[in-house]
Amino acid sequence: MRDTFVWNLNDPLITPDVFAQSVVEDYGLPAAYHGTIVKSIQEQLSDFKAHTFDEVPLSTSTVIELAATLSSHSTKDDEKEGEERGER
């Protein structure tokens, strides 16, 4: 599974945990993938924060790339694939 999204560093409502739960539910993944997704997001956020100044401006966001091996579980984003074919 691969996905890329923009993360708003200043949004206190959407935590990595909340977002991961949404991904698990949206893709119909087994609950066991929740922790893997949370860890991936947290690691990338930590890496980003390590390279920024002490104060983060209000409009700061970063790109998160989510890649998880889902063994035999297959997922796809139909909307994105449709856009690539020129459909909407």
pTM over 0.75: no
- H helix and E strand count, the chain: 3, 2
Cβ(4)–Cβ(66) below 8 Å: yes
Q: What is the pLDDT of residues 19-70, one digit of tens each?
A: 999 999 998 999 999 999 999 999 988 888 776 665 555 456 677 777 766 6
Pairing of β 61-67 and β 2-8: antiparallel
Task: With CA atoms as reference, report the closest residue to 40 among 76, 65, 14.
Answer: 65
Select from 6, 79, 84, 86 the least CA-distant residue to 41: 6
- Domain ranges in the chain are 2-84
